[in-house]
Chains A and B, each alone.
Chain A
């Protein structure tokens, strides 16, 4: 597939998608929370931009609305809430370095290649353009998950979760010209509530283990020696 066959807007979409992917890489490696939150906000903004572009391209009117929704939710509201939480938790200065950043990067790259390899088989019925978008968004989702695996800081984990959601949005808008409106709203509502609850939990966790290091949440486990079965 060469770019030449694509319209300008489609090329633009691809560009934005690439940027989103890039941002989630940076997010994965970013040690400082505040900066990570900003990155996340930018990612949300990019998603909104993608939505807008697709809307322009496809004249799908409800997409304007969802672009707006995305912008407000992902680029403004959630980052602001996170920011506030971080400040109230006094974590502005908090930094958390990955143990082996290079390895993490490699893993991310591997995930990208994997997701591309995964979607290659769908060649028929002119999926060519959307296919790659799907690959990118899949990669974003997986990297988000990887970030949740690698980061032991609760807020960072939430960021990973949210960037997964970004990947989902990307797929939804770019590959399928947007989900039905009800679903969009429902999803947005869920994400918002989730964010609120995350906020609640940060405080609960901190008051229980006065830290936000999820590795220290290890009370509930199964390691005890029972007596023998035939006793």
Chain B
């Protein structure tokens, strides 16, 4: 419990302090320090969970499923803050934003971390909703940080779409609560996920169906499922790059996590009805559509950050599909994919940040010859994209391997769709990537002072995961799989 409190209080206090802290260079370091502390707490928590199993309390429940996401969140938070310190200083020095905005940035960064961790660790659907909505509010200001017309527009769209979506999710939550009223002895516990999960089979299926639709559309908006995804590329492309990294790396995961939690309830409730796999089917449908559509979007990109945000949509679609598919193999693969995707994607965004800094623009057709000008950046980008495209020995390949084989075994036709989608997405990525990294560099393009440590850490981890999955992680994922599907894989 102490670990949990530490985990949540650290970003809270850190955020408040950062909101008041004046000296800028100190703020960057403090941000890093707070993130590190959070990571420490997260690791401690993970260790506790690994030893004692589930940590439950009023409003809180930490099990294998969310603890590894907690660690992942804290970890990406650290690496991104390593990157963001010099990067944001450069941005500030270039006069794009004021010192005040810097304070907003840092405090909101921590606030975002707080909401993420809260959403992950809470056991209460209501609090979950509050946290996710809070994440929206925390990030929306960051999206409009640069105050350019595009930034404001992106922020507005982000705000409106996610606000509406999240409101729908709240309605779903209310309906769930409504269904719980009639089965729960204590109405107050009607939003406690674990309590609901135990008695899921008694929940009124009709209500739960409707509730699930609302929750799916609501949280799905935040996952970035087509056709509620439109906010995602805008927000990613216009916000500061570290923000894009954590948005892609963390926020989407958390939203998907929420969807999965809800799906577990609905599955329990619908188990006895005529359509036991309704939730799974809906997830598969959304997943496939998002996957294919996003892959097609990749072909018509002009902005490098938009491109990679579409690739995030594509991968979220893949995971959603896998969770919908169910079964231990697919679920294991999906969990692993969550992990490697957020690691890889945040690494890519960090690299992209340097690349845009190098080229002075985000326009793809003006970023040229990166390998010539600065091999480190060029190769990092190349390898990152190679990893995200699912090439071994990187971890994304492992998860996609599991997903594809699982699909081939249960739904062969979807496997064909997946194959096509992967090919299309691959072509879309590389047709734009090639001219950026290869070829001659434009006149007078100078190397920039880049800090690629986070990239190396992330890619190194992904590589490690691709070569061999360490036992403790395997046990985690397996326990999570067991929680979700009720079956062990190992």
A and B touch in the complex (CB under 8 A): yes
Residues of A near any B CB (own CB < 8 A) = 118-119, 121-122, 124-125, 127, 130, 134, 137-138, 141, 145, 148, 154, 157, 161, 164-165, 167-168, 171-172, 175-177, 179-180, 182-183, 186-187, 189-190, 193-194, 197-198, 200-201, 204-205, 208-209, 214, 217-220, 222, 224, 226, 229
Contact partner, B126, options A130, A180, A204, A214, Cβ 8 Å:
A180
Q: List 23 A-B contacts (CB under 8 A).
A: A122-B207, A125-B182, A127-B182, A130-B178, A134-B178, A141-B171, A148-B160, A167-B171, A171-B174, A172-B177, A175-B178, A176-B174, A179-B177, A183-B130, A187-B126, A190-B133, A194-B133, A194-B137, A197-B141, A208-B147, A208-B153, A220-B157, A222-B300
- CA distance in complex: A168, B363 (Å): 42
Q: How far is the CB of B360 from chain A (nearest CB, A)?
A: 20
Does A148 lie within 8 Å of B167, measured CB to CB? no
Q: Which of B273-310 contact A (CB under 8 A)?
A: 297, 299-302
Q: Is B206 an interface residue (CB 8 A)?
A: yes
Residues of B near any A CB (own CB < 8 A) = 59, 124, 126-127, 129-130, 133-134, 137, 140-141, 144, 147-150, 152-157, 159-160, 163-164, 167-168, 170-171, 174-175, 177-178, 181-182, 187-188, 190-191, 204, 206-207, 210, 233-234, 237-238, 297, 299-302, 427, 431
Does A122 lie within 8 Å of B297, measured CB to CB? no
Does B130 lie within 8 Å of A205, measured CB to CB? no
- CA distance in complex: A171, B233 (Å): 33
Main secondary structure of the interface of B (DSSP, over half): helix
Q: How far is the CB of B120 from chain A (nearest CB, A)?
A: 16
Cβ contacts under 8 Å, A141 to chain B: 167-168, 171
Cβ contacts under 8 Å, A172 to chain B: 174, 177
A204-B130 contact given A141-B168, A164-B167, A187-B170, CB 8 Å threshold: no
Main secondary structure of the interface of A (DSSP, over half): helix
* Most chain B beta carbons < 10 A, residue from A118, A177, A193, A217: A217
Does A171 lie within 8 Å of B167, measured CB to CB? no
Cβ contacts under 8 Å, A180 to chain B: 124, 126, 188, 190-191
- CA distance in complex: A45, B191 (Å): 27
Q: How far is the CB of A207 from chain B (nearest CB, A)?
A: 8
- CA distance in complex: A189, B137 (Å): 11
Q: How far is the CB of A168 from chain B (nearest CB, A)?
A: 5
- CA distance in complex: A208, B147 (Å): 8
A197-B181 contact given A183-B130, A220-B154, CB 8 Å threshold: no
- CA distance in complex: A179, B147 (Å): 38
Contact partner, A182, options B126, B144, B148, B149, Cβ 8 Å:
B126
Can you list the 6 inter-chain pairs with the closest CB atoms, starting with the nearest?
Answer: A183-B126, A186-B130, A208-B149, A217-B153, A122-B206, A204-B152
